[in-house]
Structure 1
């Protein structure tokens, strides 16, 4: 007979609570051995070889990835493959981080001797204080007993969650010790939405002939008759004063509103009379994510980029950042910006 949905949900919640409780218990038991492990990895002159077998190898791959992305060079070493030749990738300056809940996995135990000759330090992560790994490693981080969330108490669950969380604790403690910054993180993440959000505005802004720049003293008609651009079209003209500093912004939508209001006479008046004065801007060194947050919060379509003297050097257009916006707020559903909204921002 099928289990009622309410019972399934209750069981799933119990699984999550059991794993959360296991992590919380281990956090309370962290001590000197954890600090010693961090110290050994911090001063490792080579890379960290993260060694595991089975599910521990899967956890190890994630730990190695986190270490690499946060300033600690690492690689994975599958224990089964290691005993068949992959030990050749280990350098004398490397430190080995061995993962085994029981501390008695045959493949891990067989590697302890060879790794001691090949690597500079052996750090074990295990739940068994009496196991071979805990006894033979140079440093053993023993997280102690955990209750598996699996109802059969067979499938690794709480133990692998604890191991994964400990890997994060090690990686982020090393991150702090290395004074690893957002700029460093961005260097290692050039692709995808994360990489683009961490990039600087100068990497993605429109420049040169793609920009529409005109004197604020010119008439609206002159601005739109004479301002030409190439490449990607942007719907905003950046208006500058006599010194070349950004004085205002005038968009295609602003022009359309003049026609809608039958203000034909404004076409031959200086554009500075109808432009948005002192528009919101960003600098060339700002993060793309910061620029995107401004565009979304203010419901702008364009964001001028200025140098230290306030002169326009680029333009961020929301259409170039659509892929970075959360799917819950698709660009095409954003309400159009009214002139009054931009002026009051």
Structure 2
């Protein structure tokens, strides 16, 4: 138990150390940050993000965040850059160079080469007086007082600080670009996240059956219709309008309360004025409606015309849950 307590205490201290380091970054925000964002926003090129070691790993994540929020970006490893990959950089590109010390040999070789190309350099460094910090066009301070590592060696708080600055850049650019949820959907078409942003109700029901009965349909035939269409429910339709819904639950309650069902009709057990959704509504809206009303099916309309049923299983199948 003692070891377990030590583990939890170490974890808490790590999280506290990194959270404090991140919070302190607010004190370093200055005109260089603002000018960096504006320069990238007005640039006609891409953002090239480079680094070495753990900073290179952070660079790849920043690239991914920029790309997914509407700012074209490419990763360039600092070591590879000085061995042939400098061709990645084009005339109008902006280079973000990440280094905790700002004095690594690769960075010292790379910076003058980039400047000779005429490209602007944005430094993210924990040492603004370093070679990188003093030679960059814009310097963003990612200084941390101490790493979360007990030996103050392993990059922990420092890399988290770099990552947060990258996120801050991306979000500021997102706002300047008026990047909307529709734009986000364009860049995230796959997976549950993308589906929440583009999948519509009509996409869910296209292969579903369309169970329906009339108010005067006998219960025996209602049961047959629900069983046949395999959606656990049926709409009750009169004059082409939805007037009710019958679910498996309604049938169970009916059987519990009635010993003779031979003369019962749909209108006798249906729930009136059921919840409906429009065919062009988003699939996530269907999920929210089901959750808010504690139901597992919802009837779908096209204006006032009944067109089908969305079941919770349809949403589960698409990973929207």
Gaps of 5+ in 1: 327-345
Preserved CA contact (<8 Å) 1:216 1:240:
yes
Q: In structure 2, the residue corresponding to 1:151 is in which secondary structure?
A: coil
What is aligned with 2:274?
279
What is aligned with 2:248?
252
- Calculate the TM-score normalised by the size of structure 1: 0.82
Distance 1:67 1:98, change over 3 A: same
Preserved CA contact (<8 Å) 2:208 2:309:
no
> Which residues of 2 match residues 116-135 of structure 1 at below 5 A?
116-118=115-117, 120-135=119-134
Residues in 2 aligned to 1:21 and 1:29: alpha-carbon distance in whole angstroms: 14
Preserved CA contact (<8 Å) 2:276 2:300:
yes
Distance 1:213 1:94, change over 3 A: farther
Among candidates 222, 235, 238, match of residue 235 of structure 2:
238
The question of 1:261 aligning with 2:254 is answered no
Q: In structure 2, the residue corresponding to 1:156 is in which secondary structure?
A: coil
What is aligned with 2:40?
41
What is aligned with 2:16?
17
What is aligned with 2:293?
298
What is aligned with 1:211?
210
Preserved CA contact (<8 Å) 1:207 1:315:
no
Distance 1:118 1:318, change over 3 A: farther
> Which residues of 2 match residues 65-80 of structure 1 at below 5 A?
65-80=64-79
What is aligned with 2:183?
184
Residues in 1 aligned to 2:284 and 2:147: alpha-carbon distance in whole angstroms: 40
The question of 1:199 aligning with 2:198 is answered yes
The question of 1:141 aligning with 2:166 is answered no
Q: In structure 1, the residue corresponding to 2:178 is in which secondary structure?
A: coil
Residues in 1 aligned to 2:145 and 2:15: alpha-carbon distance in whole angstroms: 14
Count residues in correspondence.
320
The question of 1:161 aligning with 2:156 is answered no
Q: In structure 2, the residue corresponding to 1:93 is in which secondary structure?
A: coil
Q: In structure 1, the residue corresponding to 2:313 is in which secondary structure?
A: helix
Preserved CA contact (<8 Å) 1:91 1:119:
no
Cα deviation, residue 25, structure 1: 0.8
Preserved CA contact (<8 Å) 1:238 1:250:
yes
Distance 1:293 1:29, change over 3 A: same
Residues in 2 aligned to 1:144 and 1:322: alpha-carbon distance in whole angstroms: 45
The range that moved more, 258-267 or 164-173, is 258-267
Residues in 2 aligned to 1:253 and 1:91: alpha-carbon distance in whole angstroms: 65
What is aligned with 1:311?
305
Cα deviation, residue 263, structure 1: 5.4
Distance 1:180 1:153, change over 3 A: same
Residues in 2 aligned to 1:216 and 1:3: alpha-carbon distance in whole angstroms: 69
Q: What is the root-mean-square deviation in Å for CA atoms of aligned residues?
A: 2.7
Cα deviation, residue 12, structure 1: 2.3
Q: In structure 2, the residue corresponding to 1:152 is in which secondary structure?
A: coil
Q: In structure 1, the residue corresponding to 2:205 is in which secondary structure?
A: coil
Distance 1:294 1:226, change over 3 A: closer
